[in-house]
Structure 1
Amino acid sequence: MSKLDGNERWKSKMLLTEHQEQYENRRDIKNSRNRPTADEFKMIRDYILLPYMLSMVQKNIEDTGNQSNLLKQLYVTADQAVMKQISADMYSVRRELSKRNIKITNDEQADMVIYHRFICRGYEDRFGMVRDVMRSEISIRLSKYFKELIGRVNAPKSLN
């Protein structure tokens, strides 16, 4: 039995405001080290968007295959080339996220926002994207993929 056992002042846990601020600053510094950087947030966004893009291009291939179009084979070949590039980008994003110890788990939808939970070096949070933003971003990126494909087709061939 110590001298402090009967003393009621020691039962409550009091914390001075300066100590509270120091504790919060220390905790914020610790979390900021584990928090994803801007580049890592871009990779998380890519990790979420690329599978949607892949499924959209796959659906386009199926729809084009069911049509009777003179240039059907050209469209399907272009879509397959874009799918190949998207798959390569997905692989590189997954590898880089794994290298940086970032895990992205299930998605959940609330209203018009799709949330993905991620864990970055012990820091856990949710990443949400509005469906309209996803649609516009996917549209922009698919147009970039097709422009790159057209640029490769139109590039002058070297004489080797």
Structure 2
Amino acid sequence: MHRAESQDNMLVKSYILLPLILSAFERDASILSAELRTPAPYLEVVQTAAGAAIADLRNVRTEMRARGLKVYAQQQLEVGIEAKFVCRGYHERMLLLDDVITAQSTIRMRRYLGLGAPDSTALR
């Protein structure tokens, strides 16, 4: 049985997470613009972060093509997201649990926003 390499799995994970992150930035930007009296500086930060995430997604897609990876199905399950993909001719499956999606998305969003890694006590 063929198993995708760890780099391949990281690319697929990023391919799944980045659109979720972009949706969160978009949703947050609309909330900020509706609720704040002076949303412009906050929106600029969110838009800059979203631009970086878009660039990363573009790079992920390019690298996936170069490595022979293609996600052909994604399904929202009760426990998370299941992705089916082809890795150089072999069919693979990845399950990202909701807790993993939340944790990984939060870490990446903080990085895009220039906040760095969260304090370990804040996660408790």
Alignment of 1:9-158 (within 5 A): 28=1, 31=2, 35-70=3-38, 72-147=39-114
Larger radius of gyration: 1
Query: TM-score with structure 1 length normalisation?
Result: 0.68
- 1:40-85 per-residue CA deviation (whole Å, 9 max, x = no partner) reads 1111100100000000000111111101333x11110001100110
Q: Whose relative contact order is higher, 1 or 2, with alpha carbons under 8 Å and at least 6 apart?
A: 2
Return the letter of the residue paired with 2:10: K
Q: How many residues align?
A: 116
Aligned counterpart, 2:119 = none
TM-superposition CA deviations, 1:89-113 (whole Å, max 9, x none): 0000000001111100221133212
Question: Please, what is the CA RMSD of the aligned residues?
Answer: 1.6
What is the rounded CA distance, in whole Å, between the counterparts of 1:80 and 1:110 in structure 2?
30
Unaligned runs of 5+ in 1: 1-27, 150-160
Q: Segments of 4+ in structure 1 off by > 6 A?
A: none
Percent identity over paired residues:
26
Structure 2: tracts of 5 or more residues without a match: 117-124
SS of residue in 1 equivalent to 2:36: coil
Alignment partners' CA distance in 1, 2:19 and 2:111:
16
Using structure 2 for the length normalisation, give the TM-score.
0.87
Partner Cα distance (1:136, 1:148) in 2? 15
